[in-house]
Amino acid sequence: MARTLLSNVSIFDGSGADLFPGEVLVDGNRIEAVAKAPERLDRSGAEVVDGGGATLMPGLIESHAHITFLSTVDRRVADPLGPSRPGVEETTLMAARAAGVLLDYGFTSAYSGGSHLPKVEVAIRNEIDGGWLPGPRLKASSFEMQHPGPSGLRERSGTDAMREFVNDMAGVGVNCIKLVISQDRHIEETGGGPVIFSEDEIAATAEAAHEAGLFLTAHVRPAEAIKWTLRNGFRNLYHCNYIDQEGLDMLEERKASTFVGPAISISYVIANDMSLPLEVREARSNTKIVERSCRVYSDMRQRGIKVLPGGDYGFPNNPIGHNAWDFEHFINMYGYTPAEVLRAATMYGGELMGMGDELGRVKEGCLADLLLVDGNPLEDITLFQDKAKLLMIMKDGAYHKAPAGSASLPKR
């Protein structure tokens, strides 16, 4: 198997610690050894890549991917979820390409935040895993189960219907079950939007998902509904803007195994798009969501809750490829340091994927998902928004983007 020595690099290992000069040896798809300068690793039989002092770090992990929303930085799809959305065949091809765009921007793994075509997402995941299609390793999701809505429309209610939904999605082959527990309308007036599911339905969903070995994900804003998800072992919670102190305490107690994502970018885009009429910008309380998010997530940061950047990229005004913009939001809105943001986007992302012992770290034995970045991202977090600044993208020990002058590893 191929051996590669990445030398003369400044290493961010994913833990949040300071950069250190050193080198990394990759054997096959794993990191065999990491050395701090002046220690040098055995070079025998290895291709030596001189990193020129650039930053070597784990691949980024998107915590709330929507590849079937289709819009990318170079191709916008006006109505990906509406009546004029592309057909299944077009969506499959466009979603596969969107997955490739994520990888082009350094996201070597992605946890899906929901799909309106789960079979398509599962097929793309399988093609990526087989090495036939470029893209991040993907945790594929169910429909975004909700009522009413453009996808995952609930025709029946009750606990039996929820168990049936989970079992159907398990048969498709998804990794995650997604519930849209609260609707994004009248958010401010109702303290987080109308709640769609009963606590019994949420409990039944959780029981069936745990039995099937599937992760549980929720789009949820109201305080009581957030606590329902926590009591029932949901792994990944999006938004949570209207959480109360009891909910924060519960989340803090469960912070070892529970993850939260504000998915703030889409609200920020709408709230700050001066080309839109004021009534449109305020229609879903986006300004209030942004303001409330700043308070809530600053508090979560102080409590050490695992908050992950990313989310809801794939809309025309928030396209895939801009995902690393969230890093800026975390710093400017929530008070995170660049090291804290990158730890969340790497080490915590690996834990979210259920692969915390082998993903999201530059560490002996971990998967060789690595980026070589032209510059110091702890000094300039915007580097990831320019894919030209990514000098190398390696996934599973194979180059997606080879460093200059290197051609010995297979490309995928």
pLDDT at residue 26, rounded to an integer: 98
Stretch 182-202: mean pLDDT:
76
pLDDT at residue 259, rounded to an integer: 98
The larger pLDDT score, comparing residue 80 to residue 72, is at: 72
Stretch 35-41: mean pLDDT:
96
Q: Residue 129 above 90 pLDDT? A: yes
Nearest CA-CA partner of 268 in 222, 328, 219? 328
Q: What is the CATH number of domain 60-352?
A: 3.20.20.140
Stretch 87-103: mean pLDDT:
96
User: What are the residue boundaries of the structural domains of the chain, listed by start?
Assistant: 3-58+360-401, 60-352
Give the integer Cα–Cα distance in Å for 131 and 139: 16
**pLDDT band at residue 56, thresholds of 50, 70 and 90?**
very high
Stretch 195-210: mean pLDDT:
94
Name the least confident of 80-94, 315-329, 359-373: 80-94
Give the integer Cα–Cα distance in Å for 306 and 235: 11
The larger pLDDT score, comparing residue 128 to residue 190, is at: 128
pLDDT at residue 369, rounded to an integer: 98
For 147-168, write each residue's pLDDT tens digit: 544 444 455 678 999 999 999 9
Stretch 229-235: mean pLDDT:
97
pLDDT at residue 232, rounded to an integer: 97
325 φ, ψ to 5°? -60, -30
pLDDT at residue 286, rounded to an integer: 76
Stretch 346-371: mean pLDDT:
98
pLDDT at residue 192, rounded to an integer: 61
Nearest CA-CA partner of 347 in 66, 142, 106, 58? 58
For 367-388, write each residue's pLDDT tens digit: 999 999 999 999 999 999 999 9
Share of the chain above pLDDT 70, in %: 90
The larger pLDDT score, comparing residue 397 to residue 152, is at: 397
DSSP letter string over 337-380?
-HHHHHHHHTHHHHHHTT-TTTSSS-STTSB--EEEESS-TTT-
pTM for this entry? 0.93
For 262-313, write each residue's pLDDT tens digit: 999 988 888 887 676 666 656 557 788 888 899 999 999 999 999 999 989 9
In this chain, the answer to whether the domains covering 3-58+360-401 and 60-352 adopt an identical fold is no
120, containing H or E segment = helix 118-129
Stretch 113-138: mean pLDDT:
96
**Taking a C-beta distance cutoff of 8 angstroms, is the pair 348, 308 a contact?**
yes
Q: What is the rounded average pLDDT for all residues in the chain?
A: 91
**pLDDT band at residue 76, thresholds of 50, 70 and 90?**
very high
**Taking a C-beta distance cutoff of 8 angstroms, is the pair 113, 68 a contact?**
no
pLDDT at residue 412, rounded to an integer: 41
**pLDDT band at residue 62, thresholds of 50, 70 and 90?**
very high
Give the integer Cα–Cα distance in Å for 59 and 368: 9
Instruction: Decide which of 1.10.10.10, 3.40.50.300, 2.30.40.10, 3.40.50.150 is the CATH code for 3-58+360-401.
Output: 2.30.40.10
